[in-house]
Amino acid sequence: MTKGSDESAADGDNASSGNADRMNRRTALGAGAVALGAGAVGAGAVVAANGFGAEPEHLPVAAEVDNNLAQSSHLFKLTSSEKDEYDGGYLQGATEESFPVLLGQQGAVYFVRLEVGGMREPHWHPTAWELNFIVAGRAKWTILGTHPGGAYRNDVFEADQGDLVFAPQGYFHYFENARTDMPLEVLIVFNTSAKEPNDDIGIVGALNSLPRDVLATAFGIPVPAFDQVPHEMKPVVITRRR
| Cα–Cα distance measured from residue 236 to residue 104, given in angstroms and rounded to the nearest whole number | 29
Residue spans of the domains in the chain: they are 1-59, 64-240
What's the pLDDT score for residue 106?
94
Contacts of the segment 10-17: beta carbons below 8 A, 24+ positions apart? none
| Cα–Cα distance measured from residue 200 to residue 229, given in angstroms and rounded to the nearest whole number | 21
What is the pTM assigned to this prediction?
Answer: 0.75
How does pLDDT run across 69-91, given as a tens digit for each residue? 999 999 999 999 999 999 999 99
Is 3.90.660.20 the CATH classification of the domain at 64-240?
Answer: no
Q: What is the mean pLDDT of each run of 10 residues along the chain (242 residues)?
A: 48 48 41 39 38 57 93 97 97 96 96 98 96 98 95 97 98 98 98 89 96 97 95 94 89
What's the pLDDT score for residue 56?
52
What's the pLDDT score for residue 18?
47
What's the pLDDT score for residue 3?
46
Beta strands 123-124 and 118-120, pairing class? unpaired
| Cα–Cα distance measured from residue 143 to residue 130, given in angstroms and rounded to the nearest whole number | 12
How does pLDDT run across 178-208, given as a tens digit for each residue? 999 999 999 999 999 988 888 899 999 999 9
